[in-house]
Chain A
Amino acid sequence: MRSPRIAITLAFLAFGLPALAQDVKVIPITAKRFEYSPKEVHLKKGETVTLVLTSADVTHGFLCRPLKIDSDIPPGQETRLTVTPAQTGEFTAICNHFCGAGHGNMKMKFVVE
């Protein structure tokens, strides 16, 4: 016979986690040479979000040190990143995978309120 504690845990795993996952805000961001869309994303300090990154052409990068983001964005797949901003402010994210002539100014902005 299962103990009540195990039963509660199983029930939580069965019903609680999906419910929590659904609460996490999902933010799609598309990269293409030499820009991101959208160009600006607003976040809230302490609130976890999932960034869903896709590339419309070549492999791009996505770097934002203050938000602890450093990832490639290969084309043909989704790159999902979980972010929980720890500080308020405006932070620039850049492409850090060389993608051509306009690479040096491929960027977007996160505004954490």
Chain B
Amino acid sequence: MTKPIDRRSFLKITGTTLGAGALYQVGAAVGVDPQGLALTDLLGRQNGERVTPFSFVQLSDTHVGFEGPPNPLGTKAFEQAVEAVNALPRQPDLVLFTGDLTHDSEKEGETLARMKRFQEIAGRLRVKNVKFVPGEHDAGLDGGQIYHTVFGPSHYAFDHRGVHFIALDNVSQGKPVVGPEQVEWLRKDLARFGKSAPIVVFTHRPLFDLKPEWEWYTGDGDEVMNLLAPYANVTVLYGHIHRNHEQLTGNARHLAARSLIFAFPDPALTDDKKPMPFDKGAPFKNLGIRRLDLALQGARPVLAATEVELSSREFAGTVGIKQILKGAQLA
């Protein structure tokens, strides 16, 4: 679902997805007219830091260590996505990974080895401001113990150019919950912000009931969204579902990113939660791209989404994969 964004929705999201990720640009379209500049000044005074344009990238569900028919190429899509980000003529300010960085393993030492492998690939990013949240495959079996030793805290917040970013962990307790301690932490974290503050939440599972019978939900997601409800400009980025999805709940806009390993089908079309089959002729077929562009209709900014497919020009083993964008160019 795509709906026009009115001026109250200050956090502008536009740009081009990168393979299985998404490049977002923040704030750029608002400052182009006098009204927009006045709004950025107002929000800057209210929120402590004026919003200035920047872009960031969301990558998700790399599942390092996964082996199976849905993707016999292992980390190739992840590595390809890193190359695509590095090739951007204008580098994003930061990169967010929204969970399932690794695929779970119960073999001694293997989880740590997979996390190190993930770090090695992610370390190739030219952008060094990289943030993470865990998925259930990273942290669901041990309560996040190994994850914390490698990546640090699994929930935290930071500010960047006038936007408040909040990382939430809805996997480490085994069940799809955030938990009362984190909810209370969030309540205190939000207290210093004005209601117009632009907020980006990034987490792994959807914070609303998308498909509970596929475990596409967070049990106490309503508590999180109730805390965010007074804020006019909230965007929630998540992964887990291995496909694009967009939903509005109140003032909040929820965007799911595609996976870098395999796609799940549309739950509206099937009851069978099975990965989409691998297509050797088009290895990134189900990974796809979403382009989000902000335009102005008169004084009113409008967000438009364009779905762009990835295809491979040549494919030989695990090398030689070329990525071609059809219908759009990278920003």
Q: Which A residues form the contact surface with B (CB < 8 A)?
A: 59, 61, 63, 65, 70, 72, 92, 94, 96-101, 103-105, 107
Contact = CB atoms under 8 A, between A and B. Distances in A.
Interface stretch (B29-37, B168-176, B279-287): B168-176
Q: Say whether chain B's binding surface is mostly helix, strand, loop, or mixed.
A: loop
Contact of A104 (B141, B174, B215, B271): B215
Given A63-B212, A65-B213, A94-B213, A100 B104 contact: yes
Given A59-B174, A94-B213, A96-B175, 12 more contacts: A65-B212, A70-B219, A94-B215, A96-B219, A97-B175, A98-B137, A98-B140, A99-B141, A100-B141, A104-B273, A105-B274, A107-B213
A98 B144 CA distance: 12
Q: Say whether chain A's binding surface is mostly helix, strand, loop, or mixed.
A: mixed
28 contacts: A59-B174, A61-B175, A63-B213, A65-B212, A65-B213, A70-B219, A72-B175, A92-B271, A94-B213, A94-B214, A96-B176, A96-B219, A97-B174, A97-B175, A98-B136, A98-B140, A98-B141, A98-B171, A98-B175, A99-B141, A100-B106, A100-B141, A101-B103, A101-B104, A103-B140, A104-B215, A105-B273, A105-B274
Nearest to A61: B175
Please indicate which of the listed interface residues B103, B106, B175 has the most CB atoms of chain A within 10 Å of its own CB: B175
A90 B176 CA distance: 24
A100 B136 CA distance: 9
B137 to A, nearest CB: 8
Nearest to B66: A101
Nearest to B272: A105
Contacts of B176: 96
B64 to A, nearest CB: 14
Nearest to A66: B213
B217 to A, nearest CB: 9
A12 to B, nearest CB: 39
B174 A92 contact: no
Contacts of A105: 273-274
Interface string B81-116: 000000000000000000000011010000000000
A94 B104 CA distance: 19
Contacts of A65: 212-213
Contacts of A99: 141
